[in-house]
A and B are shown apart, each in its own frame.
Chain A
């Protein structure tokens, strides 16, 4: 069977690579127009990752082996990974990384004057289940200053990396929290020009996922690129 052909990016959802408000794009965005790549077997396949690479403990960022508990507001972040056709993406690797509750990353270049947390590395991974569902336990990350412009602060966010089931579906994004007052000032959020598309990056508070006396729940559903309808289906 020939695998399906994936939809082309129509330029309405993903941010333009050159988004000068985010200064680092100015010297890094390619200046030449991209060349159209046919979807060959190379693009229609992709790494099948995860088995043997992920343990259940990797989905809980609040506890480290041999250590104590991370500081901050404990949260559950969960959701489903689907494609644009609404099909679940099962057994697929989800990787996350984030700042700690004080807005500090465990990274040699992060010099923000905020404390590190010895019990928080800020990295997690899990596999989606058969219905495309994933779930992490973590702490709510803090906002942090980033020097892009005067008084520039990133809204609190969690980085997400997804592989889907084909090279065409690879996606790295950021999950934001509802009602963040920094949204209007952040050039990375606003590099996505369509308001509806921006809202897809914002998790929803989820009372049903909230664990009484323990952790607040947030739902973040992720949609990867879908496939084109076959020509037969589009003809009358």
Chain B
């Protein structure tokens, strides 16, 4: 019963695929959209085993750096949903079709490098874990990014998506060697 305090998080469990995926979830933009790129990756556990029961959700600005949200300084930009969600397949793989985000304001008025906010939900995760996707072809912007600057230098590479034929690759390692950097939100 509610006492007005925060409701605790619980795991999505193994059967999240009943309730959370949408047919168009992985499509932040429709196939064939100009500038569309796939972001593909595999979610793995501490043994390196792929997770077939995870969900990757993404949230981002449009290529001009605007969010479809009333608190964006320019108001809602409804032409770009900004949100993607994709359950992992039996091999732990996910793929999201989107456009590369533009730059948005950061702490202290410093512009942030292009990035995508990511939530990973899965059986065995009692709360979502949060990370960010940055882009390897934005080296100068990444070097000046105020959030990346707060990440230990030897772990920053886990946040950088690498170019592939049809977009970028961003693998997620929940635990162990090359563990992805996760953020306290």
Contacts and interface: CB of A to CB of B under 8 A. Distances in A.
Nearest to B70: A48
B83 A105 contact: no
A184 to B, nearest CB: 17
Contacts of B12: 159, 161, 172
Given A35-B151, A47-B59, A28 B124 contact: yes
Classify the secondary structure of A's interface with B.
loop
A226 B7 CA distance: 11
Given A32-B181, A38-B107, A105 B15 contact: yes
Contacts, number: 244
Interface string B129-165: 1101000000000000011001110010000000000
Contacts of A114: none
A22 to B, nearest CB: 7
B64 interface: no
Give the interface residue-count category, chain B: 35 or more
Contacts of A44: 71
Interface stretch (A69-77, A127-135, A190-198): A190-198
Residue of B13, B45, B46, B61 ringed by the most chain A CB atoms within 10 A: B13
Nearest to B125: A28
Contacts of B89: none
B128 interface: yes
A163 to B, nearest CB: 9
A107 interface: yes
Interface residues of A, number: 83
B8 A202 contact: no
Interface of B: 1-20, 22, 45-47, 49, 51, 53, 57, 59-61, 67-73, 76, 81-83, 104-107, 112, 115, 117, 119, 121-130, 132, 146-147, 150-152, 155, 174-176, 179-185
